[in-house]
Chains A and B, each alone.
Chain A
Amino acid sequence: MEHYTVTFSKEELARYNRHIIIPEFGLEAQQKLKAAKVLVVGSGGLGSPLLLYLAAAGVGNIGIVDFDIVDDSNLQRQVLFGVESVGLAKVEGAKRRLQSLNPHINITVYNTQITSNNAFELISGYDLVADGTDNFPTRYLINDACVLLGKVNVYASIFQFEGQVSVFNYKNPNGEVGPNYRDLYASPPPPGLVPSCAEGGVLGVLPGIIGSLQALEVIKVITGVGEVLSGRFYSFDALTFESRTFKIRRNPSNPLNGDNPTITALIDYEQFCGMKAVERKIKEIDALELHKWETSGVDYQIIDVREPHEYEIVNIGAELIPLASVVDNVAKIDRKKKVVVQCKTGNRSGKAIRELEDKFGFENLYNLKGGILAYIRDVEPGLTGY
C-alpha cells in the first residue's frame, strides 16, 4: 500500500494529532507509518518498549517473532507484560497488550524461533526488521537475511549497563547502502566472553532506554524524517552516562556485500558462532519443593558450588564443591539419584549444571531456584542470610 492512498478515521486523526501537528512530520509521515510493515524479532527487554512505541505511534502492520513464554523474571524490564501474562506465549501476551493500546493497527504473531530455514519467509513480507534478540547466532542470521533480501535492519543490543544502537543496510536517498553488522563485527566473540543477559544480568531500565531509541530509528527510517543512524554507531553506558556516536563504514572484505561476496545464502549460524542460539533450559527445583524432598524421604544428593568462606557463613548440609572445581570432582556427583545443585542465588549452580550436562551428559541435576537465599527466605528464616 502506498502511503498517499492511506486514509484515517476520525478516531485515528484524533489519536495521532500530536504527530500530525509537528511541521516536519505531518499527515504524510503518519500515512507512511500506517502503511509500514515492521517485523520485530524478540519481544523481550528491547522488544517491549519498541513494540509499545511502534504500536502507539501507529505503525500499521507489526509482525512479532518470539518463541518464549512470559516468566516472573521477565517483569523487571519487559514492560509489555504484567502478572496476568505470566505463563502465556510472549507473542500472545504482546498481541493482547498492543491491540488494547491501539486497535487501529494489525498485529501478526509468529510463535516460533527465527532460523535459517524460515528467516526469508518471515522477513520478506516486511519493509524493515528491528532486531531485539539476545544471542550472536541470531544477530548474524538477521543481519545476513536483511542484506540478502535488501531490508533495513534497525539494530539494538544491551548487556548489563551498556547499550548499542545502529541502523544497518539502509539505502539513503542517493541509493547508497550503509554498513551492516558484519562491517562492524566480522566475527563473533568466542563463546563465554560475553555472557547472555540470563547469566550476566541487565539493569531493568536500560532496555527501556535503548529499545526506545530503536523505536525512534524505526520511525525515522519509515517516515524519512531526520537523519537516520546509518553509518553511525551509538553506544551508551548507563553507569557512567557516557554516550558516544561513532562513525562506521562499509568494509570491502565483508563476505556478504563487500567487493567479493562469498555468502550468497543463509548459513549455519550456530556453527559460525560456535554457540547455540537458544540455551537449553535446565531443570529447577524451588526451595519449598526441596523442603518436601527433605521431609518425605526422597533419596537425593545436594551439592553446594559456593566458596568455602560462604559455606562457613551458612549452609544447608550440602556437599561443598566450589564451581571452579566441579569438573575435577565429577566422580563425587551421583549419576543415578536426583542431584540438587545450589549456590547463593542460582547463577553459579546454573553454570555448574550446564557444564556438567554439556561435558559429562548428566540428566539428573536440578538447580535450586534463587539459591540458598530463597531457601532461607522460604524454609528456614532463622539461618544467616548474607
Chain B
Amino acid sequence: MATVFIPTPLRKFTNHTSKVEVPGGTVMEVIQTLTSTYPPLQRHLINADGKVPSFINIFVDDDDIRNLQQEQTPVKSNTIVSIVPAIAGGLK
C-alpha cells in the first residue's frame, strides 16, 4: 500500500482525510483506486486525456513523476505519493 498525501484544496473531496493508504503498482493505478474511493476527486486528478492535469504535480517520494515514468511510475508498498496542486494565496 502506498501512502498518498492529499493536499488541503482537495481534502473537501476526501472527508478531510489528509493521508490515505492505497493499493496499486503504478501512480495511475493508485490514482484510479483513490478516485474510485472518492469519486469527486476524479475530475481534479485525471483530465480528458486520461492524464494528470498540468496544475497538479505528483511526486513519488521526492521525485516529480514527469522526471520518472509519468503516470506509469512504479509504486512500492512504502512509497509516499504526494499530490501538490498549484496554490496562489499570499497577499490578502
Contacts and interface: CB of A to CB of B under 8 A. Distances in A.
A66 B91 CA distance: 9
Contacts, number: 134
Q: Of A131, A135, A164, which is in contact with the most chain B CB atoms at under 10 Å from its CB? A: A164
A134 B91 contact: yes
A186 B89 CA distance: 18
Number of chain B interface residues as a range: 20 to 34
A132 B55 contact: no
A158 B90 contact: yes
A245 B59 CA distance: 10
Q: Of B8, B64, B82, which is in contact with the most chain A CB atoms at under 10 Å from its CB? A: B8
B56 to A, nearest CB: 8
Contacts of B54: 185-187
Contacts of B57: 184-185, 233, 246
B86 A200 contact: no
Contacts of B76: none
Given A159-B8, A240-B18, A249 B90 contact: no
B48 to A, nearest CB: 12
A44 interface: yes
Interface in B35-76: 44, 53-57, 59, 62-64, 66-67
B29 to A, nearest CB: 21
A42 interface: yes
Contacts of A247: 62-64, 67
Contact of B8 (A134, A160, A190): A160
Contacts of B59: 244, 246
A245 B62 contact: yes
Number of chain A interface residues as a range: 35 or more
A113 B49 CA distance: 37
Contacts of A190: 55
Contacts of A235: 82, 84
A189 B9 CA distance: 11
A45 B90 contact: yes
A304 interface: no
A248 B9 contact: no
Contact of A246 (B18, B62, B88, B92): B62
A261 B92 CA distance: 33
B23 interface: no
Contacts of B55: 185-190, 193
A263 B87 CA distance: 23
A295 B80 CA distance: 61
A136 B92 contact: no
Interface string A283-308: 00000000000000000000000000
Contacts of B86: 136, 184-185, 188-189, 194
A212 interface: no
A212 to B, nearest CB: 13
A44 B92 contact: yes
Contacts of A43: 91
B6 to A, nearest CB: 10
A158 to B, nearest CB: 5
A47 B91 CA distance: 7
Contact of B89 (A184, A196, A249): A196
Interface of B: 5, 7-9, 18-19, 44, 53-57, 59, 62-64, 66-67, 82, 84-92
18 contacts: A44-B90, A44-B91, A45-B89, A46-B90, A66-B91, A132-B90, A134-B89, A134-B90, A134-B91, A162-B8, A188-B88, A194-B9, A207-B90, A235-B84, A246-B57, A246-B59, A247-B67, A249-B66
Which 6 pairs of residues, A with B, have the shortest CB-CB distance? A134-B91, A44-B91, A159-B87, A186-B54, A42-B91, A189-B55
